[in-house]
Every structure is written in structure tokens, then in C-alpha cells.
Amino acid sequence: MTTVLEVKELKKSFGAIHAVQDISFKVKAGEVFTIIGPNGAGKTTTLEMIEGLVTPDYGHIQFGDLDWNRNANAIKMMIGVQPQSSAMFDLLTPEENLELFATFYGKARSTEDILAMINLTEHRRNRVKNLSGGQRQRLAIGLAMISDPEIIFLDEPTTGLDPQARRNIWDIILQLKSLGKTIILTTHYMEEAEKLSDRVCIVDQGRIVTLDSPAALIEKLTVEREVRLSFLDGVEAAEEGEIFAKDLSSVSRTERDATSLTIWTPKPEDTLYDLFKFTKEQEYQIEQVSIREMSLEDVFIAFTGKEWRD
Ligand code: ATP
């Protein structure tokens, strides 16, 4: 796939603060590329350098053959940046905001079209100051779509929103992706990164810690799964179950708390098959069985050594 953006060895300091120390990556056409990382990791500074708002101390930013020094106007037509809430006009309506922003560009997607995509047709004539947080965020994304750009930058588009409002924004992002747009996203929400992204770049202290698809990142760490079962026939049955499980070649370790047994295994199907054969023979009943999947959050903790704060 074509590379639409390449950043190489980006660096930026603010006085003694080395916000971005060394960031390089390539973004492919049509992908959702997500940057996640703890507070102060350098995500916003990285985006702002790419968007042409902050000048890097060092490094290269290329949009195909274009760069900010020689082709600033062409790049501005190619990219869409979600404005800060404060950049919108509170006393105007969504429709008026879209029409006003459209006058900044030569080519513009129709207001009608954008209002439908961001699901604000019904509220087109309400003043922005009366919109909910989610509706304002949707309008901000709409404003980023005005010039019908190929690449759209969304810096924490769902921060502070309730789960339903966040899902509405996810739907818009997925719609943009289905239109072939490239989306570059930052987020604080792991679940969001996992659901939306083709590739995730984990940034910590101004450097990339790891970069891959969510599935591949999880796979790298998924050496074993956690299987939990609960025995209905009391503690003794659970003890017997644990002794049996410990002897299985597929099991790496076990832990038991009264009637509840946790087993770590790289082959959960094999383990459960053998264990169920045993419990059936013994006529033990098992109440709950769960296999815990690794999540992107586990990956984050493994790579950065930090707890995720959400
Ligand atoms: P958050 O998740 O909190 O938004 P972030 O990963 O986006 O964080 P940045 O906003 O890029 O991180 O900030 C990286 C570091 O650079 C922080 O220590 C921040 O305080 C500092 N910084 C960012 N912009 C400036 C500035 N204009 N002047 C001084 N320091 C800055």
C-alpha cells in the first residue's frame, strides 16, 4: 500500500523538556493509525509537528513527495485537522460553522453531506453553545472533513465523553475509513485503540516503544492464557482438580482460591479437554469457565512498565 506520510527522526524540546526525542514511522493510505501513550509522552507535540503547527528541532516530515518547506499549500489541502472546541463559534449553528470554515478552502464537501455523516442534521440550526459535548466533538470532526481531505488528524476526539457518545464518534471514524480516508488518531482509551486501529504506536517519553497491529502486539505477548473455573462440589473437588491440572503437560502453573481454580496455559483447548474428561469421570460439576484474552492494555503495561490510568 502507498505510504501517505513518513516521519523520520522527529525531535522537539521546549527548554529543558525533551517532548519528542526520536520518532519515526510511516502511515499507509486508508489506515487508522493510532498513537497512544501516557500523559506527557509527546503525542500532541508529534501531531502538531506533522500538522505544520509546531516546527521540529530536527527530522523530516514527508506527505508523499510533499514537505512543509516547499509545498505547504498543497499539504494544507490534503490534510484535515480537528479544531479545538474553542476554535468553533459558539453563537453560530453547526451549519453556519461548517459554511464559514468552508470559505477557508477552495474545495469543500457539501454541508448537507457532512451534517449527515456526523449525525447533526437534526441540530443543524441549534447554536453550538447549546450542543452536548459529544455533539460538539462530532462537529469538530465535521470541520476536519470540510476540504474533503485525504488524511484526517484527530487528537483525543473522545476524551471526556460518555460511552455512547464515544461509540458515535467511533462510527464516524469507521465511516471515514470506509471512504478510504487515512486517519491519524491519538487516544487515552485502550479499547478505542484496539477497536479502531489498523496499527498502534505506543509512545513513551518521546520515543516509540512498539508499533504494530493490535492483534500482532497482543500476539507477541500471548504466550499463555488464563483459564478460570469454579467447582460446584466444594473445596476438595477443586483441590483434586488442581492436582490433576498441575500434571498436565499443557499447564504452566495453577492457583486456587477455595473452589475457584485458575490455570495458565498456552493451549487452553487441550487443557480444558483433558480437565473436562477428568471432571466427568469424577462426576464433578463445573460452574463457570472463562478464558481471559490479553488486551492492548496488557501490552501497554508490558512495554512501558506503567499502569494504564483509565
Ligand atoms: P497528554 O496525553 O497529556 O495530552 P501528550 O503525550 O500529548 O500528553 P505533549 O502534549 O506532546 O504530550 O507534551 C510532551 C511534553 O512536552 C510534556 O512534558 C509537556 O508539558 C511539554 N510541552 C508540550 N508543549 C509545550 C510547550 N508549548 N511549552 C513547554 N512545554 C511543552
Q: Is 80 exceeded by the pLDDT of residue 25? A: yes
Ligand 1: atom nearest CA of 38 is 2
What's the mean pLDDT when you consider all of the chain? Answer: 90
Q: Is 90 exceeded by the pLDDT of residue 206? A: yes
Quick check: 258 and 234 in contact, CB under 8 A?
no
Residue 150 is given by DSSP the state: S
Q: Whose CA is nearest to atom 3 of ligand 1?
A: 39
Which of residues 75 and 224 earns the better pLDDT score? 75
pLDDT, tens only, 56-108:
999 999 999 999 999 999 999 999 999 877 788 899 999 999 999 898 877 77
Ligand 1: atom nearest CA of 186 is 7
Cα–Cα distance measured from residue 296 to residue 190, given in angstroms and rounded to the nearest whole number = 6
pTM: 0.79
Cα–Cα distance measured from residue 153 to residue 1, given in angstroms and rounded to the nearest whole number = 20
| CA 128 to each of CA 82, 97, 120, 200, 264: distance values in angstroms, whole numbers, following the listed order | 16, 9, 11, 33, 52
Rounded to the nearest angstrom, the distance between the alpha carbon of 94 and the centre of ligand 1 is 30
- DSSP-H helix ranges across the chain: 43-50, 68-78, 94-102, 111-117, 133-145, 163-178, 190-196, 214-221, 235-247, 268-282, 296-304
Edge to edge, the sheet with strand 199-204 lists: 58-62, 3-14, 17-28, 207-212, 199-204, 32-36, 182-187, 151-155, 79-81
**Residues sharing a CB contact under 8 Å with residue 60, sequence separation 6 or more, in sequence order:** 6, 7, 8, 9, 67
| CA 69 from centre of chain | 31
Residue 84 is given by DSSP the state: P
Q: Whose CA is nearest to atom 28 of ligand 1?
A: 14
Rounded to the nearest angstrom, the distance between the alpha carbon of 38 and the centre of ligand 1 is 11
Ligand 1: atom nearest CA of 45 is 11
